[in-house]
Structure 1
C-alpha cells in the first residue's frame, strides 16, 4: 500500500513539474514575400509578454510548449501561432505572415459593344445637334456654305474667310467635356460617400477599447505608455473619443497621430 502511495506521489509531482516548466528564450523571425517586416508585434498571450521585430524581422521572446503567440502588423493579417515542442529546439523559429488585400467596392461597367465593322459601328454612334444625312450634305453648294459662315473681324482676312464655324465647334466640344467631367465627379463623389458611410458604420459597431486592442498589444501599453496591466481597461475608457475622430485615427496614414494621441492621454491619465 505504501509503495502505491509513493508511486502516486511521484506521478503527481511529475505532472505538477511539467505544468510549471520554465519558459525558454526563443529567437524567431517573421518572414513575408514582399513587405517590410520591421516593428511587427509578437505577443505571448499565455504569459502576457510581447516583443517587437527589428529591421530583419527578428525577435526574441520566452515561450514553452502550447503557448499562443499573436502576431500583428499594420500591413499584415493578424495571425495566431501555437508553440510546438519541436519549435523549442529550433535555432530560429520562422513564422510567415500574409499581407492585407484592400478590396475595392464593386463597380458595374457597361462597355459599348462594337462589331469591328466600321460601317455598322458608325451607325450605332449617337450624335447630337446635327441631324442632316450625308446625302443632304452632298446637295449643298459652295456658296451655300459660305453664306452661312460667321464673320470674325478680329481675325486676319484670310482666316476670317474660312467656312468653318469655330465657335460652334469648340462650344459643342467644351459642353461635352464639361458634361463628361461633371458626371465623373458626381459618380466619384457618390462612391466616396458610400465608402465613408460604410467605414463609419463598421467603426461605430465596436467600442474604442476593442479597436485599440486590435491595433496594439498589452506590451505597447505597458512598456511604451507606462500603463499598468490592471489599469489598461480604465485607460482605454479614459481615452475614448468620438466615432468621427476614431475613423480618422484608424486610417493607415494616421497611425502616428493615433500613437501621439495615446501618449498625450497616457500622461493625463497618470496625473489623475
Structure 2
C-alpha cells in the first residue's frame, strides 16, 4: 500500500471561481449538469452528483443590520466551499456494493468502476454525506475518484492543479492534517475564532476523511452533517442476530420433527 493521499480544502481562501469544477469535468469527461438556472443562488451547479464531482457552494451570510435601502435583511458576505467525496476511512459504500464496483486503491482512496457497476443504487443511501449519485441515462453510480489515473502517473488531481488560490491542497494525508492544524491556529490568532477543521479527526464516526475541510462556520451552514457516522456500523451485529435467529429456528424445527417421529 502506498502512502495515503488526500485533499485539504481551505475554504477561507476559496474565491468561488469554479475552476476546480471545470478541470474535474474536462479531465474525467464528466457530462454537463443540464445548464438549469435554479434562480435561487449564484451557484449554478447546486450540489454534488453523478455529473458534478466537485461542487463549489456559494453560501450567503445574511446581515441583520439592513441592506442600505431603508432596512431589511441584506448580505453581509459570502462563504465559498469546494465540496467533494470525502473518501472515508470507514466507507459504507464499500460495505454495501454487491459487485465489487467500489474498491479502495493503493492510495487509500475510494473509486467506482463504472464498467462493473450494475446500477443497484445501494451505495447512494449508504453514503453519510449524500455524495454518490446515479446517472439517469444508465443508472450507474459515479463520484470523485481523486483522479486515480493522474495519481498513478505521479500527478496531482485536476481540481487541485487548477485551483488559483491553493484552496484545494493535495498530498500525503498526515502532512495535510498537520498543515491544516497550523492554518487553523493562524486564523484564530487573526481574529477568526470560528475557524475549525471538519473531517480531519480519525476518531470521528467515519474514522476520519481522506478529503477534509477548514470551515469558517458550523458544518450545517455548508450543508455538511455535524456528526457523520458510517451507516453500516450495525451490520455485523445484525448479521450475528440473524445467524442466531436462524440457528434457533433450525433447532425448533429439528425438535418438532423429532417429536412428531416419536409420536408415530
Q: What TM-score results when the alignment is normalised by the length of structure 2?
A: 0.21
Structure number having the greater helix percentage: 1
Structure number having the greater strand percentage: 2
Q: Which has the higher contact order (CA 8 A, sep 6+)?
A: 2
Q: What TM-score results when the alignment is normalised by the length of structure 1?
A: 0.20
Structure with greater Cα Rg: 1
